[in-house]
Amino acid sequence: MKRLLLIPLVLFVGLAFGQSNKAEKSTKHNISIGIFDDRTGLSLVGYTYNVRQTDMDEFFIGGGTMLLAYTGTVGWKHYYKKSKLSISSVVCGQYVEHLGGRGVMPTISLTLEYNLTNRIQVKLGGMGVMLLGETSDNFGALPFVGLNFRF
C-alpha cells in the first residue's frame, strides 16, 4: 500500500518542479475558512501553498484542521474557465488524523469560485472522498462552501 502511494507523489513532484513557459503569479498562499474545502478536505480552516502555478493550473501542498481532525494535503487544481466566476476541479491526496484513527483520503472536487476582489473568493462545490482508514474504508460525496484568501 505504501508503494502505491509513492506513485502519485513522484508524479506530483515531477510536474510541480518541472520546467514551465508560463509566468508565475504572486499569490502563492491560500487560507480557506468554511465548511470543508476543495484543497484541504475535511477542514474548517485550511492553508495551502502553491508550489507551482501556470495560467490554468496550480500544484499545492498544505494542511487543515477541524475541531478534532487534522489533514495534510498535496494536489493539483485545474481551471476550466477563469474569470469573475471561475470553474475548476481539484484532485488531491490527503492524510487524515482524528480521534477515531487515521488514514489516507484521496479526493476529487468540482468548484465554482466567485471573485469578490483579486484576493478574496467565495467557493462552493462538491467533493468525492474515499477514506482508507486503519480499521475500515468509507466513501461518499460532500458539499463545501467557504471563503478563500490569497496572498
Number of H helices, E strands in the chain: 1, 8
pLDDT digits (tens, 9 = 90+) for 90-131: 999 999 888 877 889 899 999 999 999 999 999 999 999 887
Q: Specify if 22 maps to a domain.
A: no
Note the Cα 135 to chain centre separation in Å: 25
Three-class secondary structure of residue 55 per DSSP: coil
Confidence check: pLDDT of 73 > 50: yes
Kindly state whether residue 26 falls inside one of the protein's structural domains: no
**Can you give the CATH number for the domain in which 78 is found?**
2.40.160
**What local confidence, expressed as pLDDT, does residue 102 receive?**
85
* Residues near 23 by beta carbon (within 8 Å), at least 6 away in sequence: none
Domain extent for 96? 2-16+31-150
Residue 24 lies in a domain: no
What type of residue sits at position 148?
N
Residue 25 lies in a domain: no
pLDDT band at 10 (very low <50, low <70, confident <90, very high): very low
Question: Cα–Cα–Cα angle for 39, 134, 45, nearest 5°?
Answer: 25
Residue 23, in any domain of the structure: no
Alpha-carbon distance of 106 to 74, in angstroms, equals 10
Structural domain includes residue 41 = yes
Mean pLDDT of 7-31: 57
Whether residue 63 is contained in a domain is answered as yes
pLDDT at position 28 is 92
- The answer to whether position 21 is within a domain reads no
Phi then psi for residue 142, to 5 deg, are -135, 140
**Structural domains of the chain, count:** 1
pTM of the model: 0.79
CA-angle at 34, arms to 29 and 40, nearest 5° = 50
Query: In whole angstroms, what separates CA 113 from the centre of its chain?
Result: 14
Distances in whole angstroms, Cα of residue 36 to Cα of each of 15, 16, 132, 141: 26, 25, 18, 12
